[in-house]
Amino acid sequence: MLTARWLTAVGLVSYSLFIWHEPVMLQLHHAGLLPTGQSGFPLALLIEFLVAVPVAAVSYWLLEYPASMLGRLKDGSGRPREFYPEPAARRPPPPSVSPGTRAVRAGSPAKILSRW
């Protein structure tokens, strides 16, 4: 049951649903769209759910998800990430390595190891 698609989708937007359920409920109540009284509670709950979930989904995809992407604008050391690398024509050519030799990982001093 926990892997049901609809339940997974509700879980994805659950925080937005938590934030939006009360304003949606109040607007529905003020507009007279919710039944009153204890006997109308199940129907009011269904109406609230059917309206609040789409509002929460829109809020998630337009606000919450893009805001979560802001954290990826910087790398682990706090520098801005390079999203648009230089075109290949302006990049310096890669260092050539002779066959049978191996360069040590990028970023370290240029060391070339002889054959193993």
Q: Give per-residue pLDDT as tens, 8-33.
A: 877 888 999 999 999 999 999 999 99
- 45 domain-assigned: yes
Query: How many domains in the chain?
Result: 1
- 63 domain-assigned: yes
Supply the pTM of this predicted model: 0.59
Dihedral angle computed from the Cα positions of residues 32, 9, 2 and 71, in that order, rounded to the nearest 10 degrees: -120
Are 10 and 53 within 8 A, CB to CB?
A: yes
Expressed as residue numbers, the domain containing 31 is 5-73
Better pLDDT: 77 or 103 = 77
- 49 domain-assigned: yes
* Cα 113 from Cα 100, distance rounded (Å): 9
- 37 domain-assigned: yes
- 80 domain-assigned: no
